[in-house]
Amino acid sequence: MGDFLTAAVAISVLFIGLPWLILHYITKWKQSPTLTNEDERLLDDMHVTARRLEERLQTIERIIAADNPDFRPSMPRREYPESDFRNNDYARRD
């Protein structure tokens, strides 16, 4: 009797519980919100703004370093690959 009950529970979990769990999370995944075009545009604008602010900060640090030889920038300068946002049309908007 114990073996039959164990087998019945195992088969139920395997053929009912597991597919239900998989299908449940597939449904949740499909219902989750995605980025809209407006969201992507906003992220692009924020990225461009952050890049401009970083360039301004580097300019200020260069000016301060020229006036004060003991000045050390707070962060090392980041170098960007050739395919960065500066080559994109978004960076040209003012």
Specify the pLDDT at position 94. 41
SS3 (DSSP) at 62? helix
Specify the pLDDT at position 84. 53
Question: How far is 52 from 89, CA to CA, in rounded Å?
Answer: 14
58 Cβ contact partners less than 8 Å away, ≥ 6 residues apart = 73, 77
Mean local confidence (pLDDT), 27-53: 92
pLDDT of 32 higher than 80: yes
Torsion of CA 48, 54, 55, 59, to 10 degrees: 160
Q: What is the pLDDT of residues 56-94, one digit of tens each?
A: 999 999 999 899 888 877 666 566 555 555 555 544 444
